[in-house]
Amino acid sequence: MSVHIGANNGEIADKILLPGDPLRAKYIADTFLEDVSQYNEVRGMYGFTGTYKGERVSVQGTGMGVPSISIYVNELIQSYGVKKLIRVGTCGAIQKDVKVRDVILAQGATTDSRINQLIFNGIDYAPLADFDLLRTAYEIGTEKGLSIRVGNVFTSDTFYRDNAKEVNELLAKYKVLAIEMETTALYTLAAKFDCQALSVLTVSDHILTGEETTSEERQTTFNEMMEIALETAIK
């Protein structure tokens, strides 16, 4: 057991999907995995292990934001030996040509979080996706005929922000595709511990147009994102 995860040694697979929402973790386990067992309910942050196409895979809710995902990723890697970590999250688009329901593979993660400043003492570290996972996920997504975007995302410490318009316009000018709240921490920790990480994100809303997915659309698109992540995890 670790501080925030109540699993015994060996109960978590070395490949894991990481949704922010613990109920999305339950949905993935119920919908896609076989022979499922629940290994965690500490703080309601559900974690499950099962098999996908015969391969052992886990899925763990991370909560929202850099501090929360950092706790789970640290413990998953250091206490349970997880090696391949794929976030399955939602994001808000800030480019006109990125559409609601598109799937984004986060190649890098710009941030206003201070975690990297604290680690690197003033050096402007660039957290990146694992290239093999990125390439595999891209190939799987395009083979499925999906609209896959690859690029920079903004990992924000705030969901509600007073100067959002100004910040979004600046980031959009510099080619950032979308906003979410965890990827920079995932990529930095994966690099630190020599693990592989990727964020696969569904555009759930468009920040410029205000367009949102309906719950039905969300389900279908989320399933596509989850299948890309699961297929990538076992490849």
Ligand X SMILES: O=P(O)(O)O[C@H]1O[C@H](CO)[C@@H](O)[C@H]1O
Ligand Y SMILES: O=c1cc[nH]c(=O)[nH]1
Q: Return residues touching ligand Y (CB under 6 A).
A: 90-92, 159, 179-181, 204-205, 207
Stretch that binds ligand X, among 51-59, 114-122, 144-152, 175-183 (CB under 6 A): 175-183
According to the binding rule CB under 6 A, does residue 182 interact with ligand X?
yes
- Summary count for the chain: helices (H), strands (E): 7, 9
Q: How far is the CB of 91 from ligand Y (least distance, A)?
A: 5
Stretch that binds ligand X, among 13-21, 40-48, 212-220, 221-229 (CB under 6 A): 13-21
- 13 within 8 A of 20, measured Cβ to Cβ: no
Please tell me the distance from the alpha carbon of residue 235 to that of residue 166, in angstroms, as a whole number: 41
According to the binding rule CB under 6 A, does residue 224 interact with ligand X?
no
Supply the DSSP string of 67-111, one letter for each residue. Answer: HHHHHHHHHHHHHH---EEEEEEEEEE-STTS-TT-EEEEEEEEE
- 115 within 8 A of 155, measured Cβ to Cβ: no
Distance of CA 26 to the CA centre of its chain: 16
205 is catalytic: yes
Q: How far is the CB of 93 from ligand X (least distance, A)?
A: 13
According to the binding rule CB under 6 A, does residue 90 interact with ligand X?
yes
E strands of 125-235, at which residues? 148-155, 178-180, 196-206
Using CB under 6 A, pick the residue from 129, 181, 207, 225 that binds ligand X.
Answer: 181
Q: How far is the CB of 207 from ligand Y (least distance, A)?
A: 6
* Binding region for ligand X (CB under 6 A): 19-21, 64, 89-90, 159, 180-182
Active site residues: 205
Output the known binding site for phosphate.
20, 24, 43, 87-90
